[in-house]
Structure formats: C-alpha cells, structure tokens
C-alpha cells in the first residue's frame, strides 16, 4: 500500500466485530454497526502517542472512508482517537 497520511492524520483499518451473539444468534450484515476499533497502519509526521500497529478506539462516525486496492480504510485526525487498547 502506498498511502502516507499528512500532518496529524492516521490510516486505520477497522477491526471486524463478531458475527454472532454470545448465545449463538447470527447477526446479519445490515443489522451490524460499524466497528469502533481499528488497527493503525500509517501515521502522519505530527502524530504523537500513537504508533503503527496500535489498536485504537474512535467514534462511530469518525474519519473519512477510503478504498485502496479494493480494501476499506479510514483516514482520521488524531483528535478522533478516543484511546488506545492495551
């Protein structure tokens, strides 16, 4: 992939959520919400406290969706990141 975010932006790939509930009920795609966690794939030069490969939590409607080589990603500003999963 040849994408480098600029400034305080990050390139994030959403993590897929479970397709079944704890009791085994399958959730159809149209009933699922967008995942609010993702893996950081690239960071801009002004990003601090977040590194590539971190798993981050962000708001449901944060960022701008982007398709690269047929895969979906989200470009967001550092201020859209709510926290880092440890």
pLDDT digits (tens, 9 = 90+) for 35-46: 689 999 999 999
The structural domain count of the chain equals: 1
Q: Where residue 68 sits, what CATH number does that domain have?
A: 2.30.33.40
pLDDT digits (tens, 9 = 90+) for 26-73: 655 554 556 689 999 999 999 999 999 999 999 888 999 999 999 999
> 56 is in which domain, residue-wise?
9-17+32-85
Report the distance separating Cα 49 and Cα 84, nearest Å.
9
pTM exceeds 0.85 for this model: no
């Amino acid at each position: 992939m040849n994408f480098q975010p600029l400034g305080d932006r990050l390139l994030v790939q959403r993590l897929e959520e479970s397709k079944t509930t704890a009791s085994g009920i399958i959730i159809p795609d149209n009933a699922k919400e967008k995942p609010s966690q993702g893996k950081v794939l690239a960071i801009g030069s002004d990003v601090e406290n977040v590194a590539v490969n971190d798993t981050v939590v962000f708001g449901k409607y944060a960022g701008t969706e982007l398709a690269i080589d047929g895969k979906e990603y989200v470009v967001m500003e550092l201020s859209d990141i709510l926290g880092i999963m440890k």
